[in-house]
Chains A and B, each alone.
Chain A
Amino acid sequence: MKRRNIILTSISILLLLVFIFVADSSFDAYKVRILNLCAIYTVLGLSMNLINGFTGLFSLGHAGFMAVGAYTTALLTMSAATKQQNFFLAPILPPLDRLNAPFLVALLVGGLLSAFVALLIGAPVLRLKGDYLAIATLGFSEIIRIVFTNTQRITNGALGLKAIPSTTNLWWSYGAAAFTVVIMALLISSSYGKAFKAIREDEIAAESMGINLFKHKVLSFVIGAFFAGVGGGLLGSLMGTIDPQMFKFAFTFNILLIIVLGGMGSITGTVIAAFIISSAGELLRFLDQSINLGFVVIPGISGLRMVVFSALLMVVVLFFRNGLMGTNEFSWDKVIGLLQRRPLIKRRLGQ
């Protein structure tokens, strides 16, 4: 890396830290919540983009992985008393009642369990292609949800879990987002990441170049699921409440919207789109709620927000197929090149 770029990167990180510090201490709860969501959706978007954008596997099972992470983290961080209050229909299955772990450990265990579920699902499903893979992963995601609705003594069934300790704050969420961005960038630029891209470009050629398709697809799927689980854990802790209804296909749809808008196969694009979609998701809430202007009340129309989102997805895919970034990534050289209105410096390779 050039000296100039190192300096620029260091300054940006410092500015981000200052911003988080200021936001954490002085922003109101609503703004902090939106900022948290932006970071968590970054984690979720990147995890799905690894599978769908970089490896070219059209998987629609993301909500299921998030559910596994969210439930695991919640159950590991709730106190025995809270658990008892939650499980009033049927007592919680021992030893879950006494299991407890620090937040970081709980997040990691959530991610690992989610990755393990992905391994079990991936073994049969990743032999399928295209829309068959899509529908099978969607099916598994629904099965996870149905199982969670029925395992009353583990997940509290349809009642869900309430009063999950709200540990997620800006430091946690931005820490997780930064960690995910760095790992993804390193992974994607490594030999394995390039093998993933080769599979996306042409499976038959990749296989003929000695790339074991199944092994690499499983790797991508499992790593993606790990981060989806971590994201789910953070989200559950932020919301304070989770239930199986939350993890329907609509949730996967939101993440899909992020990666399509940002560009399938771009880390930068995913980060930008995660911020746009999660802010818009909150800011457009007024569409669904009535607004009281003092002298007149404008009735909100429930569902309008999702109409905007689904229309947005269609507009992007119909008219801007590459999304915001296509498969391009941010680099200081490009930014400075743009600023100086010089032709773009050719992307350096290998890094």
Chain B
Amino acid sequence: MSGAILRLDDVHTDIAQYHILHGVSLDIPEGGVHVLLGRNGAGKTTTLRTIMGLWRARKGAIVFRHHDISALHASDIARLGIAYVPENMGIFGGLTVEENLRLASATGRFDKDRLDRIFDLFPAIEQFWDKAAWALSGGQKQMLAISRAIIEPRQLILIDEPTKGLAPAIIGNMIATFREIGRETTILLVEQNFLFAKSLGRGVSVVDDGRIVHNGAMADLAADEKLQGELLSLSMELQ
């Protein structure tokens, strides 16, 4: 795909003695939200962590804007403009909300317009600005994790299961927020909540047993209940 911002080509990743990704090949088009779906243990998080350089690909290529990043250190990948929001949010609990954001800002200073936009999206960030992050609720921590990803202009944001453990009301707000962020940045979103994913995703890939088993438009998958049944209740027998 010529408009791909990120391309994974036959990526294999091992964690200790376990072979987790068995040749993931994936094109992420530029702009909007692309969703990576799959059951527990299918390899979604491993895919994100491998892209981010937190786990090393044993084989295959990860090409970001025509540069192979598969051998780069996570810090170098981040400096290319890729942000990562892990499943556990990766908040520094001992730091204040402000310090968490300041750390994510390349210069240590804030762009006022960008910060104001974050305050508009997440009023709790302004409200708890000088409070220790460990004291925030789960939803507020998720807001802080996402704010950290957008405190600087990014080209690609990798987000791992942002709705996990969150109340439905917060998830509703998050859909609007991700739509807004997705207008200017490409988002690769790992999700298990299909309702959340289909309301956001432009494209969708389904991973199972460390391989991509479906690629396509989210609208097509959302309209095809039979395909949903096949893909979203995947079992080893289908491989």
Do the two chains bind?
A: no
Q: Interface of A with B (CB < 8 Å)?
A: none
B residues sitting closer than 8 Å to A (CB atoms) are none
